[in-house]
Amino acid sequence: MRNISKRICVAYLGIFSAFSVVAENSDTLIQKRLKYAQAQSLLDARKVEEYQSIRPDIADYVLTPYTDYRAFLVDIGKRSIEEVSYFQKQHYTLPFSKRIRASYLDGLAKEKDWETIFRYQTTKPRGETYQCYYYYSQLIHGDKNQALKGAESLWLSGSSVSSACDDLFEAWQKAGLRTDDKVLDRMVLAYEARKGRMLTYLKKLPESKKAKAEAEKIAKLYRAPQEIGRFAKKSYVTPRNQKLAWYGYRKLARANAEEAVKQLNLVVSGQKLTSEQRQQLADYTAFRLINTDSEELIAWRDKSIAKSSNSALIERRVRLALQHADWKGVKNWIAKLPDDKKSGLRWQYWLARSEIELGETASGEQRLESLLGKRHFYSVVAAQTLGTPIKYDISKSEPDSTLVTQHQATLDRVHELIALDKIAAAKSEWQWLLQRSSAQEKKALAHYASNQKWSHLTVKASIAAKVWDEIHLRFPIAHRWWFEFYGDKYNIEPITLMSLARQESALDVQARSPVGARGIMQIMPATAKYTARKFGIPYKTPKELNDVKKNIEIGSQYLSYLLDQYDGNRIYAFAAYNAGPHRVKRWRENSAQKLDVFAFIEAIPFKETRGYVQNILMFESYYRFLSGTKGDFLTKNEKEERY
């Protein structure tokens, strides 16, 4: 209890701020926080009766619904449908209300109460596990035919299926419905999903000699995709074999695009694929030949792309032309884009540039002028190219504050969760509130969050409200002291650091990416360890990256290191921060100093990295406006360097 008291008091003293929920006596609030922590400990031990005995002490505490929810979950599978529905209705404003159904179904399944599941879950749910529960309850208490059809649809998956389906699948198999044909169909799905182990498992299931041979043939083709042409020619034309030819060819194209080109016609003719399917396979191969040096393959690739309607492929070809400063190619390939793509600012800019480079100066400059005045990277680039001032729409509205007061209970919980450093729970509350709010309410909530200095929540609300021109909401000036401190220490503009953080995490100090990057500047633990060791920064574990000060310190030092590697060039440094220095090295070698800064950025083959660099440059522009800081969109060296 002493440790809990110390932790709560530290949170209280360090983060406490004035708001409606803490208008009460501060000593009373501290006591409620302590009791709440005690309640959480009791529920950790599943001591529900003891929790209920202290609950009156926190009956009016704003976070008590969370402990009520935890208590309600204990043995939830033994509760009635009426109890669960009532609890869910009473707590609909809390984010856990949307999770109760899943918890209840899990509890009922644990109790093997299929009759209650049948009555409670009356329509097919989302999620594989819950569909397993649903169909099994139908099997026992409802429509058996529907249940068996559901079992088949779940079993026919290229990947492993939830173990919750085991009993359902057993019943389906006993009904004689797991035929050899179904096994072979699933093998095709596993081939498509690139699940070699699943193929090996499925290969053992067929019973007939013919099916066993076909299963072995599928498994062999997966191991040796170079045999796809022979397979297509020698196999009967069936829907299954056509699919295998399709997936097998794509597997070959990934492994050896040159060989795939040689076998394309054989695959198409052997399995009588349509001309549309042939073009799709050619497109797939052409993507993998973008950087080929073979003149023969270049000719084949470009001939294929010229016939294609695949916008992404044609755009990639435009970027290849940019990479080689082939302005005639840029113009010609842009012309092949569909109108909705071609008319966008991006390709209108490059069409204008190609016109200027090809001597059609008046037409090109007129096209550039038509792009000015918009809040878009290529509007700014057009202004830079023409040497005119940067302009874009900015607005600032006054929201209706009464739209916020109706959500005061939720806002009080968000305040308290932030005060206790329960940031993940605060974000969950905020997201659930935004999902339930109208467009005008979202806008008002963005203003409210801005006034509270909730930077990340302001960004989330501004995006939800689509207030694109209100850049003071979209780009909060957050953690300014730390950005300025480490900006001065490492000789980086604080606005550059803040803009990078805004792009990386939307200013979320506890952000965590699917690949493991952490914190406001989204640092990979390996990068943090390397940077800390190289530059003598105290650092022990990845958990420290959730500390905003430590994260900005390491992120700023790493960016400073990259800037030093590239003589202060932010374009290279931003690209390296996102995609790695090894890729920037390769991109520079490919462009061979033939490009200007904007062509180099557009020629970056990774959509994420390309957008990343463009966004940070724009974000710097916004932050300079908001902070009244002077500065150029690009430095003199960045403009003049050949990339």
**pLDDT, tens digit (0-9, with 9 covering 90-100), for 204-229:** 999 999 999 999 999 999 999 999 99
Average pLDDT value for residue range 183-202: 97
Distance between CA atoms of 313 and 307, rounded to whole angstroms?
11
Q: What is the mean pLDDT of residues 169-198?
A: 97
Mean pLDDT value of segment 244-253: 98
pLDDT (tens digit per residue) in 352-384? 999 999 999 999 999 999 999 999 999 999 999
pLDDT confidence of residue 27: 82
Q: For residue 31, is pLDDT > 50? A: yes
Helices (H) and strands (E) in the chain, counts: 39, 0
Contact assessment for residue 517 and residue 524, using Cβ atoms and an 8 Å cutoff: yes
pLDDT at 24: 57
Q: Which two tokens stand for residue 185?
A: 């169909």
Encoded amino acid at 447, one letter: H
Q: Higher pLDDT residue, 69 or 3?
A: 69
Told to judge if 115 belongs to the known catalytic residues of this protein, a careful annotator would answer no
Exactly one of 493, 504, 602, 638 is catalytic; name it.
504
Helix, strand or coil, per DSSP, at residue 399: coil
| Mean pLDDT, residues 152-171 taken together | 97
Q: 399 or 328: which carries more pLDDT confidence? A: 328
Q: Given pLDDT bands bounded at 50, 70 and 90, which one contains residue 3?
A: very low
CA–CA distance, 357 with 328 (Å, rounded to integer) = 9
pLDDT at 176 exceeding the cut of 50? yes
Q: Please state, in angstroms and as integers, the Cα–Cα distance from residue 151 to each residue in 109, 118, 176, 186, 305, following that order.
A: 17, 16, 12, 13, 43
Q: Which residues pair with 523 in a beta bridge?
A: 518
Task: Name the pLDDT band for 393 (thresholds 50, 70, 90).
Answer: confident
- Region 269-277: mean pLDDT is 98
As a whole number, the mean pLDDT across the chain is 95
Q: Cβ contacts of residue 474 below 8 Å, gap of 6+?
A: 459, 462, 463, 467, 468, 622
- CA–CA distance, 326 with 231 (Å, rounded to integer): 41
Region of 470 on the Ramachandran plot (φ > 0 left; ψ -120 to 50 alpha; else beta): beta
**CA pair distance 318, 330, nearest whole angstrom:** 5
pLDDT of residue 215: 98
Could you tell me which of 255, 189, 192, 200 has the C-alpha nearest to residue 227? 255
Secondary structure (DSSP) of 160-191: ---GGGHHHHHHHHHTT---HHHHHHHHHHHH
Percentage of the chain beyond pLDDT 70 is 96
Q: How many CB atoms lie within 10 A of CB 393?
A: 10
Q: What percentage of the chain reaches a pLDDT higher than 90?
A: 94
pLDDT score at 15:
34
> What pLDDT is recorded for position 2?
33
Q: Are 51 and 43 in contact (CB under 8 A)?
A: yes
Q: Is the pLDDT of residue 142 over 70?
A: yes
Give the model's confidence band at 401: pLDDT under 50 very low, under 70 low, under 90 confident, else very high: confident
Query: Is pLDDT above 70 for 17?
Result: no
d(C-alpha 295, C-alpha 394), whole Å: 50
pLDDT (0 to 100) of residue 350: 99
* Residue 605: both structure tokens together: 């083959």
User: Rounded mean pLDDT of 193-213?
Assistant: 97
Please tell me what DSSP assigns to residue 13.
H
Say yes or no to pLDDT of 38 above 60. Answer: yes
- Specify the DSSP class assigned to residue 518: B
State the pLDDT at residue 602: 98
Lowest mean per-residue pLDDT among 2-11, 263-272, 305-314, 541-550: 2-11
pTM of the model: 0.90
- Report the pLDDT averaged over residues 187-214: 97
Where do the domains of the chain lie, and which CATH numbers do they carry? 2-120 (no CATH), 173-308 (1.25.20.10), 317-386 (1.25.40), 402-468 (1.10.1240.20), 480-640 (1.10.530.10)
Amino acid 399: pLDDT: 83
Helix H, strand E, coil C: the string for 331-376 is: HHHHHCCCHHHHCCHHHHHHHHHHHHHCCCHHHHHHHHHCCCCCCC
**pLDDT tens, position by position, 600-636:** 999 999 999 999 999 999 999 999 999 999 999 999 9
Q: Is 70 exceeded by the pLDDT of residue 263?
A: yes
pLDDT at residue 632, as a whole number? 94
Going from the C-alpha of 24 to that of each of 18, 21, 31, 159, 262, the distances in angstroms are 10, 7, 12, 55, 78
Q: How many CB atoms lie within 10 A of CB 423?
A: 17
* pLDDT tens string 429-485: 999 999 999 999 999 999 999 999 999 999 999 999 999 999 999 999 999 999 999
Q: Comparing 395 with 539, which gets the higher pLDDT?
A: 539
Whether pLDDT at 14 is above 80: no
CA 524, 528, 531, 537: dihedral to nearest 10 degrees?
Answer: 160
